[in-house]
Structure 1
Amino acid sequence: MNGRDSDDRHRLTVESTGPLDSQPAVSSPTVIGQVSVPWTPVVGHGSAPWTPVAGHDFIPEHDEHEGPLPNLSSTHPRHWKYISEGGATIVFSYRGPPHKVFSNSVLRLRKAVRATPAPEEHKEIGIGNSDVVDEKGAIVKPLEIAEDQEQKIKARGSNESLRSVRSAHSSRSLHHHRSSSNVRDDDSDSDWEDLNPDLTSENEQPDDPTIAFQTRVTSRLVPLCFLPRLESARVGRRWVEELARIGEKARPEARRRVDGIDLERRKGVLADDLVGWLGWAVEIKPKWAFLPNPTHLSAETAPFKLSRCRFCMHGYHSSRAGKEKGGYCPLDLFSGDLGRIKKALGALWDTWIMSNGSINNLKLFVMGKTVKPKSDPPFDYLSPFLRSTNGEEGMREAFVEAIAPMLHSSPLLGTLSTLMRSLDALDIEGVEKLWKEAKHVAMVGLSPKIADDEDEPSLADWEKFVDEYLAHGPYVGTKERYDPNEPQEENLKYWLTSYLMSATFKDCSIMLRFSPGLLDGTESFTNPERDVSMPLLTAIDLDPKSMKRLQKWAELDRDIVQHYAAADRTGDDGQCVDARVVGAVGKGVAI
């Protein structure tokens, strides 16, 4: 696959995360198309580069002395408060007496579709609606996503072969499991143990696929100190039936007709409560961190895609009509420059205020409650945590000045930026070209959907991909295997999987969790043990994407560029600056 001729005007020097070995020295740059890449990040003053590890040594194995799974039946179901739900899972937060295992935790349970005499009603109602559950819960069919992922994990082996993130977060979990996995609440009616528990069923059920994916895939790319604690927990039948009965009244009515908690599963997923119910938290969905490699861009799209980032162009799309554009640009947040990070946070705050929190790039939570600025004055809610010298007007500055230095000194944004851009080394245009060439499909006219004949990656496929990426990927200093400038047809599967992995990081969120009390300016996100009493910075929503979405992404990419090209851009300076390029940092600060 031949790229376009290089143009020195678009030569970029990208700075990335640490070398594959433990040496701190910077390797010689490798040229990726027109992107020259040394292997060292610029992520802010005082931050240290993360060193990924090739192979499997990085992944923690099961601790041979590991105790039994935490037992949720040792708590009362009413001590778990409904928080939220998606298409496949429902989330509860522990609000009971202090507990060594469950305090500061949330529980994620798989949902199942209800049996109904009129299946066609589902089409009218849509996914995520459901009726009130009776005491036994009329749930009969697990959601397809759970079934599909379970089969893939079963094919990989039993739970005994699964490596657990529990051992990696040992300070938070292992000690507690050994000493108190069966500790009960100090509640006289908290004995919810099944009289005849089906331990065979529990042992045979695989851990939730999200645990396996984090353990075997994402934890090799992102340091564990920035990943949420995920671990299996034992769920008794009596306990989960009572939780379903109690929690059903808190669910949105639109969700209750079609699905509910899967009562047949004997395992749930415990995770850190990143919203918290005593302190406060911030959720940022940063989006795409880079301008694309120009090698495979068409003459029609290159002028726009090399000057405007994907997020800023998307703001002109018809789907965003009527929504507040604001001034947020992800390239500011990922720049590694403190001034630009402050600019990004200020823009996120302004859009949050103007949209009353309806645009999801910034969310604020206080004591577990989502703050809506029009009904929940930010000063009233945030003054216990941020010191404003000018009342309501000064809260924006207090927010920006408190958080920006903490993000600036953390390596997480630099790591995410590196992963996004290196995994998407071809751009979706290059992926589509390579697929058509490999399948001998005409470059114009009707053609099959991208990857329509490809199987979804299994867990083993994802592991193999990470092996290849860490050993031979575009930032390793060698072009012999996977040269983005001239990708080979025989490596099509690698490049398809690479784009999917990039999409996972492009769509992630970062959670900033703070304990009660005023910030004094000395805090940081340096928290290797993930101590919940200290500020926590966590990357979340790192779920695998489907091959079926590649065609949709290619079409959306074209649509976004076309809308941007045709839009009235009066007042738009027309330039996003990728600070991880030669000569761009100083230019970026002045934006």
Structure 2
Amino acid sequence: MARVEIIPELYNTTLWEFKAEGNANIILSYVGENIRFSATVLRLRKETEFDTTINSQYFTNSYINYAMKPLLGSKYVGESILLEVQPEFLKALSKAILKMRSNKRTQKDIDPNQHYAMLIPDYTKFSNNNPTLSIEFKPKWAFLPSSPFIENSVKLQSCHFCMHKYLKRSSANEITRYCPLDLFSLEDKRVRKAVEALLACPESYLKLFIQGMQIEIGKENWQSWLYEFFEVDYSESNDEEHKNTHVIDMLIALLIQAIMEERDLFRSLKMLQKTLDELDIEGINKLIIFHRPKLSEPSLEEWKLIVDEYMKRIAINNTKNDNARQFVITNMDKMDNKQILQRIYEYLMSATLKDCSIIFSFQKSNGTNTQDVTQQKPHISPIFQNNEGLQQLSLSETLSPTIYKYPYNDKLYVYKVNVIDLDPKPLAKLSYYQELDKKIVRNYLKCGATNKCSE
């Protein structure tokens, strides 16, 4: 059951400060003095044209626990509390934070009709005041589609993300070099290529936080925020370019090392995206057109059964063998209504996992070796019941030193990692995904793109 609370002392707009927002949610940081709520954020749904039943924070919280947590594991999916809220408080909050928001986001305000907000730990902070560095990024579409339903073979050449970016930019010179298949390759050089591309063109795919405050990458002298964290003394150097290159390389090295340490997470995400989306949106669309199943949003109990059925199938099939997928494609006409609905709902889960974010947060370790993390106090706000586990790493242990530009000292760092943005996707978005897919292919061809992706 979801943990629901009424906490009168939190219904004060002066206690909350704008932190970040996406298309669907706004995040506010607690800035009051009550230690019970330290390092806590309030997650509020924005106004939406979709069914607010499944987009409610109550449903989202339960969906994350019933569907996403079993798939990803409790190690990566954090705890949350549902806070009862009233329209008056929400309207006052919306007005109080308006000046802090980007103009391009203000078309959608906080939904004043939601009954619950979500209290979650601030993953960009630790329990102490030591310098903290957090990196949030969207791995995006890692699956390389190879659907036989596609009239054009373009998808056999490029992953969905690398095609999608041609839809968003008018000039090939402005297009990011980032490809999620480089990130998910877990090969040092390719992972570095992916991280460098994200830093060069972060857009909405990568965010950087220092002490919980977002830093605008690319802004003049933004690299100077990293000096204190890495404790690099540049007092005798006047070479700004050298200093910035050095500290950015340390940032890249730290993130790559953490990604390699968490390779199981990236392998799991890649497998989930691929096996939950075996038919791609074209196959799902054909199921809907030819079989016309009666579609309705699954209840929370039904989501449990959907996840159970998926995990049973994966346990039987060898997920590294494409024969299982080919069997499904060949026998689509023989699928019964239950099997059809299962595949449609699995696609929606894949859409969630393609749009999730991963956040790494780092601090210098108090330990003396990579096996000793007991001296570092795990961070969790006192209002939450579970502690967050910390991992330790050293830049001196990078797997392939030849890909880094500078030698690194033996400083130890602790980090924590969480997967966030795991909201359910409504059935109403299936038509949107279908139309978007067509636009992506058309625009990709129109741009004359010829880049190829490989796993």
Give me the whole-angstrom Cα distance separating, in 2, the residues matched to 1:315 and 1:260.
29
Confirm or deny: 8 A CA contact 1:402 1:519 kept in the other structure.
no
| Cα deviation, residue 91, structure 1 | 2.7
TM-score of the aligned structures, taking structure 2 as reference length: 0.75
Structure 1 pair 434–144 and aligned structure 2 pair: CA distance change class (3 A): closer
- 1:513 corresponds, among 347, 351, 361, to 361
Confirm or deny: 8 A CA contact 1:523 1:535 kept in the other structure.
no
Give me the whole-angstrom Cα distance separating, in 1, the residues matched to 2:329 and 2:278.
6
Q: Identify the residue that residue 38 of structure 2 maps to in structure 1.
A: 103
Q: Identify the residue that residue 9 of structure 2 maps to in structure 1.
A: 73
| Cα deviation, residue 270, structure 1 | 0.8
In the alignment, structure 1 residue 290 sits paired with structure 2 residue 165:
no
| Cα deviation, residue 454, structure 1 | 2.1
Q: How does 1:499-538 map to 2 (within 5 A)?
A: 499-515=347-363, 529-531=387-389, 534-538=414-418
Give me the whole-angstrom Cα distance separating, in 2, the residues matched to 1:408 and 1:103.
31
Question: Helix, strand or coil for the counterpart of 1:472?
Answer: helix
Confirm or deny: 8 A CA contact 2:50 2:426 kept in the other structure.
no
In the alignment, structure 1 residue 576 sits paired with structure 2 residue 420:
no
Q: Identify the residue that residue 122 of structure 2 maps to in structure 1.
A: 273
Confirm or deny: 8 A CA contact 2:223 2:248 kept in the other structure.
no
Give me the whole-angstrom Cα distance separating, in 2, the residues matched to 1:519 and 1:393.
28
| Cα deviation, residue 74, structure 1 | 6.5
Give me the whole-angstrom Cα distance separating, in 2, the residues matched to 1:109 and 1:555.
29
1:158-180 alpha-carbon deviations (Å, 9 max, x no partner):
xxxxxxxxxxxxxxxxxxxxxxx
TM-score of the aligned structures, taking structure 1 as reference length: 0.59
Question: Helix, strand or coil for the counterpart of 1:283?
Answer: strand
Amino acid at match of 2:112: D
1:562-590 alpha-carbon deviations (Å, 9 max, x no partner):
33334334xx5x33121xxxxxxxxxxxx
Give me the whole-angstrom Cα distance separating, in 1, the residues matched to 2:316 and 2:145.
15
Give me the whole-angstrom Cα distance separating, in 1, the residues matched to 2:161 and 2:24.
27
- 1:406 corresponds, among 252, 258, 273, to 258
| Cα deviation, residue 366, structure 1 | 1.9
Q: Identify the residue that residue 431 of structure 1 maps to in structure 2.
A: 284
In the alignment, structure 1 residue 371 sits paired with structure 2 residue 215:
yes
| Cα deviation, residue 419, structure 1 | 0.5
Structure 1 pair 472–370 and aligned structure 2 pair: CA distance change class (3 A): same
Give me the whole-angstrom Cα distance separating, in 1, the residues matched to 2:141 and 2:87.
43
Give me the whole-angstrom Cα distance separating, in 2, the residues matched to 1:555 and 1:240.
34
Structure 1 pair 225–529 and aligned structure 2 pair: CA distance change class (3 A): farther
Q: How does 1:110-259 map to 2 (within 5 A)?
A: 110=45, 145-147=51-53, 208-233=58-83, 246-247=96-97, 250=100, 259=109
Confirm or deny: 8 A CA contact 2:23 2:105 kept in the other structure.
no
| Cα deviation, residue 381, structure 1 | 0.8
Larger Rg: 1
Does 382-391 or 519-528 show the bigger shift?
519-528
Confirm or deny: 8 A CA contact 1:71 1:235 kept in the other structure.
no
| Cα deviation, residue 560, structure 1 | 2.2
Confirm or deny: 8 A CA contact 2:54 2:60 kept in the other structure.
no
Aligned residues: 401
Unpaired segments ≥5 residues, structure 2: 235-241, 379-385, 392-413
In the alignment, structure 1 residue 384 sits paired with structure 2 residue 237:
no
Give me the whole-angstrom Cα distance separating, in 2, the residues matched to 1:237 and 1:545.
25
Q: Identify the residue that residue 201 of structure 1 maps to in structure 2.
A: none
- 1:492 corresponds, among 306, 322, 340, to 340
Question: Helix, strand or coil for the counterpart of 1:226?
Answer: coil
In proportion to residue count, which structure has more helix? 2
| Cα deviation, residue 234, structure 1 | 5.1
- 1:483 corresponds, among 305, 320, 328, to 328
Structure 1 pair 475–538 and aligned structure 2 pair: CA distance change class (3 A): farther
Question: Helix, strand or coil for the counterpart of 2:201?
Answer: helix
Give me the whole-angstrom Cα distance separating, in 1, the residues matched to 2:422 and 2:342.
19
| Cα deviation, residue 530, structure 1 | 1.5
1:438-480 alpha-carbon deviations (Å, 9 max, x no partner):
24xxxxxxxxxxx7x6222332332221111011248634969
Structure 1 pair 524–75 and aligned structure 2 pair: CA distance change class (3 A): farther
Structure 1 pair 382–493 and aligned structure 2 pair: CA distance change class (3 A): same
**Cα root mean square deviation, aligned:** 3.9
- 2:191 corresponds, among 341, 347, 350, to 341
